[in-house]
Chain A
């Protein structure tokens, strides 16, 4: 019971900080200035000859992120295979 009260207080504290952050964030639909994204949108077609700017960012400008992501997926698949491997019935 004491733990539930503690959790409720923690949720209220987090909600208060969230409500305070809502005043400082920029308004919806009004991005201040984004030089990097404007560069991507203007130069993706002539530098990389690709129409889809999101794909250009994912696979080219930030390809290293995608490498890590593919590694994460590979690791997760290996973990699931290791958890459900044969021979676990005996344990």
Chain B
């Protein structure tokens, strides 16, 4: 794909940061508001599609790092399994941090309240781990499917096709 016009590129440069911050907000508030790791990760992974559409393939693929996304996906899955495994003295996936005090262990008042950010024990850690995994995985899927489009070009040396200005 060729890059779109300069208006689209400028607006996309500004709004990708808002998309990323909004996705991270959804991930870290997953235990208080609607949302969680999967939804926030999907929102952050939209950033990659946004950049691919606006800036075109050549520029985006030059700075996107598939190794980094693979590492994010793997580390997310390992942290998720590890957080489940640490409560093995009671059961698998036991929430051993909830209500114990500390960074993740604040208690919430019973009934409707306005929310406590550092509560929920391992649920918060698992949200972040799954969010990391989904960010890496969906970005990899988008990147590799975009690279797969290029396999169709028989005349790849004659320049990119499609997407008129």
Contact = CB atoms under 8 A, between A and B. Distances in A.
Contact of A81 (B108, B121, B144): B144
B162 interface: no
B108 A63 contact: no
A51 to B, nearest CB: 5
A59 B127 contact: yes
Contact of B110 (A46, A55, A59, A81): A46
Given A67-B93, A84-B148, 14 more contacts: A45-B110, A49-B98, A49-B116, A50-B31, A52-B31, A56-B123, A60-B93, A67-B84, A70-B130, A74-B137, A76-B137, A76-B141, A80-B141, A88-B151
Interface centre among B31, B92, B148 (most CB of A within 10 A): B31
| 7 closest Cβ pairs, A-B complex | A63-B93, A50-B120, A77-B137, A84-B148, A84-B144, A59-B123, A59-B126
A4 B77 CA distance: 46
B36 A64 contact: no
A47 B121 CA distance: 11
A64 B121 CA distance: 17
Contacts of B119: 49-51
Interface string A56-68: 1011100110110
Contacts of A14: none
Contact of A48 (B36, B95, B133, B145): B95
Interface string B122-150: 11001100100110010011001101100
Chain B contact-residue range equals: 35 or more
- Judged by DSSP, the binding face of A is helix
Interface of A: 45-52, 54-56, 58-60, 63-64, 66-67, 70-71, 73-74, 76-77, 80-81, 83-84, 88-89
Interface centre among B99, B111, B123, B140 (most CB of A within 10 A): B123
Interface in B72-126: 73, 77, 80-81, 84, 92-93, 95, 98-99, 105-108, 110-111, 113, 115-116, 119-123, 126
Nearest to A61: B93
Interface of B: 30-34, 36, 73, 77, 80-81, 84, 92-93, 95, 98-99, 105-108, 110-111, 113, 115-116, 119-123, 126-127, 130, 133-134, 137, 140-141, 144-145, 147-148, 151
